[in-house]
């Protein structure tokens, strides 16, 4: 089962674009710090209730039109502000 997106996993990945739809994941998962940091082409991410933690600056410095859609409350939300 998918359990997490590691710290810095897609950092500075200019070819990663959206929408990134994570609603089909069936087990709880975490997105750790800086996972998608500076992904300039990533514009939309859809997250379902299975997400438990979004770490520091996970989506910071992405596209100026970045849109995050949360389909349920998170347990922990850190410095996510874009």
> Distance between CA atoms of 76 and 31, rounded to whole angstroms?
11
Mean pLDDT, rounded, for 21-25? 79
**Displacement of CA 41 from its chain's centroid (Å):** 13
**Displacement of CA 15 from its chain's centroid (Å):** 15
From 1-10, 24-33, 53-62, 65-74, the region with the lowest mean pLDDT = 65-74
Closest alpha carbon to 30 in 58, 11, 10:
58
Residue 3 — pLDDT band, cuts 50, 70, 90? confident
């Amino acid at each position: 089962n998918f359990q997490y997106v590691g710290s810095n996993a897609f950092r500075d990945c200019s070819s990663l674009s959206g929408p990134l739809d994570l609603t089909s994941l069936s087990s709880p998962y975490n997105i750790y710090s800086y996972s998608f940091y500076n992904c300039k082409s990533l514009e939309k991410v859809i997250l379902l209730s299975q997400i438990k933690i979004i770490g520091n600056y996970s989506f910071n410095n992405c596209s100026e039109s970045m849109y995050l859609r949360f389909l349920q409350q998170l347990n922990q939300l850190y410095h996510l502000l874009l």
